[in-house]
């Protein structure tokens, strides 16, 4: 029964993704939901995208490495043009141009030209140069990642909580515990 449900769920996902790709316009940002994170790409037409992806040949198992793409650790990344179906894998895709509310998008042919001009090896940093930064840079001329902003904000809030807790403990030791 579980296998049948999984197959039905998979078919619905396939139909939903087909619908999204049929509606996609050149220059749209596509967001691929992959659980804890999203992968981003620029739609260039003919069911193809340009996106920032890890280079498999340089994959490393160093847990302290600061570069990750999709939970896998890579020493390098590359911008490449691929079939949208290769990128989708088993994830849900949606057109996400929400940043249009804050930034003015370039014209579709300019977006594609900018993305095409970046094909090849490129640096990667989860906080400053990830796949969402890439897609936003191509569409708006501004490298902006809401995911990276959320991670940075979470780290800052966590650090502030630890600092306040430490100060509170020191205050307690100095003024209250000695009584």
pLDDT in tens, the chain (179 residues): 444 434 445 677 789 999 999 999 999 999 999 887 889 999 999 999 999 987 763 333 333 334 444 445 555 788 999 999 999 988 999 999 999 999 999 999 999 999 999 998 776 555 556 889 899 999 999 887 756 445 545 445 445 565 555 566 566 667 776 55
List the structure tokens of 2: 């579980």
Query: Which residues 6+ apart lie within 8 Å of 121 measured at CB?
Result: 55, 76, 77, 78
| Residue 45 to residue 77: CA distance in whole angstroms | 23
**Residue 64 vs residues 67, 74, 98, 168, 175: alpha-carbon distances, Å:** 9, 11, 33, 32, 40
The pLDDT of residue 172: 64
Nearest to 26 by CA among 50, 4, 10: 50
Nearest to 25 by CA among 136, 137, 139: 139
């Amino acid at each position: 029964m579980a296998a049948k449900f999984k197959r039905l769920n998979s078919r619905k996902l396939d139909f939903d993704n087909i619908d999204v790709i049929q509606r996609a316009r050149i220059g749209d940002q596509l967001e691929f939901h992959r659980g804890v994170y999203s992968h981003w790409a620029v739609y260039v037409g003919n069911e193809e995208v340009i996106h920032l992806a890890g280079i498999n040949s340089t994959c490393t198992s160093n847990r302290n490495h600061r570069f990750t793409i999709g939970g896998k650790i890579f020493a390098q990344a590359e911008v490449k043009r691929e079939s949208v179906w290769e990128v989708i894998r088993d994830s849900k895709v949606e057109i996400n141009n929400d940043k249009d509310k804050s930034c003015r998008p370039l014209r579709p042919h300019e977006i594609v030209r900018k993305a095409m001009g970046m094909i090849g090896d490129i640096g990667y940093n989860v906080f400053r140069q990830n796949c969402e930064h890439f897609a936003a840079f191509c569409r708006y001329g501004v490298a902006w990642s809401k995911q990276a902003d959320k991670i940075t904000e979470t780290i800052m809030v966590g650090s502030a909580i630890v600092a306040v807790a430490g100060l509170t403990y020191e205050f307690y030791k100095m003024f209250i515990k000695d009584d």
